Homo-oligomer: A and B are copies of this chain.
Amino acid sequence: VAILDAAVQLVEEHGWGEVTVEAIAARAGTSKTTIYRWWPGKAAIVMDAFLAAAEPSTEMAPAGSLRIELAAQMKDLWRFFTESSAGRTITALVAEAQANPELATALRERWLAPRRAVAAAAYERARDRGELHPDVDDGVLTDALYGPLYFRLMFGHAPVDDAVIESLVDTVLRGATSPPRLGGEGAARPPVDEPPGGG
């Protein structure tokens, strides 16, 4: 309803901290009563509003190559974060989720899970094409790709552009194409020299 629009507007204009339930009510032309009748708190409102705004960005278009699919999807995601300042919102939600287990659960199940399922489907297709080694752990792979994005989003220590995304996808996928533990030099035991290409 209009309440969600008001919430998302206010989070985008000012920060999370400046948004009060009263302000949402005023902007939406409604009252606190109505809001509290339907949501348990500010976090839930913004969560719903954010998900409503993000719904279209879930799909990953098959493109014949995992690299291309992933890079396109990551660029889309980043664009979603930076345009319309959804990044500020997700960032605030993650922040709030640290002290709000129900929000944390909602974030995982309603935001992360669908996107990870899409990525898993892409991995499946890639494995069918032989692009991906069967032993690779989907979770680690996904986090190796998306973790850096969220990392930079939340710390802001370095920018993200298409080149960075492609460099990231290249690096990670190149590592994921070879078997994850190719030689016999184990995880951390042998201090022997590793040939550059053999790692």
Contacts and interface: CB of A to CB of B under 8 A. Distances in A.
Contacts of A72: 188
A126 B71 CA distance: 28
Contacts of A94: 95, 154-155
A143 interface: yes
Interface stretch (A1-9, A117-125, A173-181): A173-181
A137 B164 CA distance: 9
A108 B198 contact: no
A157 interface: yes
Interface stretch (A22-30, A33-41, A46-54, A127-135): A127-135
* Residue from A156, A175, A197 having most chain B Cβ neighbours under 10 A: A175
Given A157-B112, A192-B129, A199-B177, A164 B140 contact: yes
* Residue from A88, A98, A131, A143 having most chain B Cβ neighbours under 10 A: A98
Nearest to A186: B197
A170 interface: yes
A44 to B, nearest CB: 16
Interface string A1-22: 0000000000000011110000
A152 B137 CA distance: 15
Contacts of A130: 191-192, 196
Interface of A: 15-18, 63-65, 67-68, 71-72, 88, 91-92, 94-99, 104, 107-108, 112-113, 116, 129-131, 133, 136-137, 139-141, 143-144, 146-152, 154-158, 162-164, 166-168, 170-178, 180-182, 185-199
